[in-house]
Amino acid sequence: MVTTIKESTSTTEWGPFSLKGRNALITGAAMGIGRGIASRFLEAGANVMMADISAGVGEAAAQLDENRATGIVLDISDEKATAAAVQRFVEEFGGLDILVNNAGIYPTSPVLDMTPEFFDRVIDINLRGLVFMSKAAGQQMVKQGKGGRIVNVASIDSVHPSMPGLAAYDASKGGVLMFTKNFALEMAPHNVTVNAIAPGGITTEGASRPTAGLTTEQIQQLTSEFVRQVPLGRFGVPDDIAKVAVFLASSAADYMTGELVIVDGGRLLR
């Protein structure tokens, strides 16, 4: 698939979308959607900790902003590590206002060929890791008593399957949607909103992995077929998701919780 990432367009006046002075922790932030979200959050005025299993996350943070961005290596599937990451975040920034759960994987396997290890790995990272990251962040936000924002990156596969081979992924993202809704109920009395974004096809490094082993013609055929089904006629780019994440993290979304915002170029209309 195409992996060109569109450069973000600067927005200098954020108004109700401003994140000035807010402290945000973003998982899966070394590249792709996560890095796009980090870039827009910094532009909107937030202080950002970028967490990722990749050792390159520190360099990615330095490239974006040496003063207001920092990077930590984090395995989201390790519950103790997620709790430690929140503690480190608070020690470094003084408090946690926003959590963006973006970390995830996108492997493919037909159910008839699937191993328990494959299924467990997808669930551990995409769902279990998100749940316990949310727990650690939620506990901190309740302790602070100032409210907060949790934004989960789900998928259009949360509500409609894209293709065979993604059963484990779809199960994990369907779980993300229902967790978002239930946790929103739990956190509402604490003025912590919990919402989710459902991206459609986005051109990222990770999105190209399911095409490994295919010929150039096969990839072009898959790409053309996908784009044909998108009313807006193109793949999305990380910045398409990043700007929606800013909205959900800002005061512009004060009266929203437990919602799924679909950002798919109209794909689900077909």
Q: pLDDT, tens digit, for every residue of 233-249?
A: 999 999 999 999 999 99
The CATH number that applies at residue 144 is 3.40.50.720
Domain assignment of residue 191, yes or no: yes
Domain assignment of residue 159, yes or no: yes
How many domains does the chain contain in total?
1
Concerning whether 106 is annotated as a catalytic residue, the answer is: no
Domain assignment of residue 168, yes or no: yes
Q: What are 117-146's pLDDT values in tens digits?
A: 999 999 999 999 999 999 999 999 999 999
Domain assignment of residue 231, yes or no: no
Domain encompassing residue 247: 17-202+236-263
Domain assignment of residue 270, yes or no: no
Entry pTM = 0.91
DSSP H helices, the chain, are: 32-43, 57-64, 79-93, 116-123, 129-144, 167-187, 216-228, 238-249
Question: Is residue 33 a contact partner of residue 242, using CB atoms and an 8 Å limit?
Answer: yes
Considering Cα of 191, then 41, then 227, then 225, what sign does the dihedral take?
A: negative
Domain assignment of residue 142, yes or no: yes
Domain assignment of residue 84, yes or no: yes
Domain assignment of residue 156, yes or no: yes
Catalytic residue among 41, 89, 106, 169: 169
Q: What are 50-73's pLDDT values in tens digits?
A: 999 999 999 999 999 999 999 999
